Amino acid sequence: MRVLYHFPTSTFSRRARLCLAHKGLEHELKDARAIPEQGDEARRLSPVGTMPVLVDGGRVVGDSTAIAHYLEIAYPGGPPLFPKDPQAARDCLDVMNLVDTAMNILVDVGTRYWKLRDSAEWDAVRAERAARGQRALDALAERATPSRPFVAGDAWSCADIFLYAGVAWFAGIPARVATNPLLPQILSVGMTLPLGLVEWKKLHEDRADVRHVEGR
């Protein structure tokens, strides 16, 4: 049985769960945040040191992007995660990179680097990073429109999975802000989720794999 160690609310973990659901692969979820022992176990298994971590038989794969590529290689018979058309495949990688740029900036500046905020350089560094992340979000909003529901090719792919997971996580922060002290810090980074991305997300909320992952 495949096992996914994850953080339930993490955008990176959500995308891994969506990839598994899209491939139709059964798996056991282990909450590495609620059960510290499971987090320790995952970190022992993967030298990457982050969540999610997929264990598939004797194979251990850390990092959500690596998990997506692994699933495509290991299970080629299921629905594809990456477009076959060369241009669509390039578009998919572009979108994944833009999503990672935005999400990594939000998480890194709002959490990992937060202790440096008293530095004289903090405001300038935060502003530069936030501007870079905002450009990525704005570029994604230009691609994701009602007339183009799939952002890479003509079918659901990793591009859509990564974007959906990112938008769902970012859009959900205000409702969860009182539950985690890190969330106000993330909001203080100064990036804004374009309304167009929120509207694009609504186009896919009733997908069977999305409903399954979100417990609906």
Please write the tens of the pLDDT for every residue from 18-51.
999 999 999 999 999 999 999 999 999 999 989 9
The identity of residue 70, as a single letter, is Y
For domain 86-207, give the fold: Glutathione S-transferase Yfyf (Class Pi); Chain A, domain 2 (1.20.1050)
- Does CATH number 3.30.300.30 belong to domain 2-74? no
Q: What is the DSSP letter of 109?
A: I
pLDDT reported for residue 146:
82
2-74 with 86-207: one CATH topology?
no
Average pLDDT of the residues of the chain: 96
112, pLDDT greater than 90: yes
The tens digit of pLDDT for each residue in 134-190 reads 999 999 999 998 888 999 999 999 999 999 999 999 999 999 999 999 999 999 999
> In sequence order, which residues have a C-beta less than 8 Å from that of residue 157 and are 6 or more positions away?
80, 81, 82, 83, 88, 92, 150
CA 49 from chain centre, in angstroms, equals 17
Map out the domains of the chain as residue ranges.
Answer: 2-74, 86-207
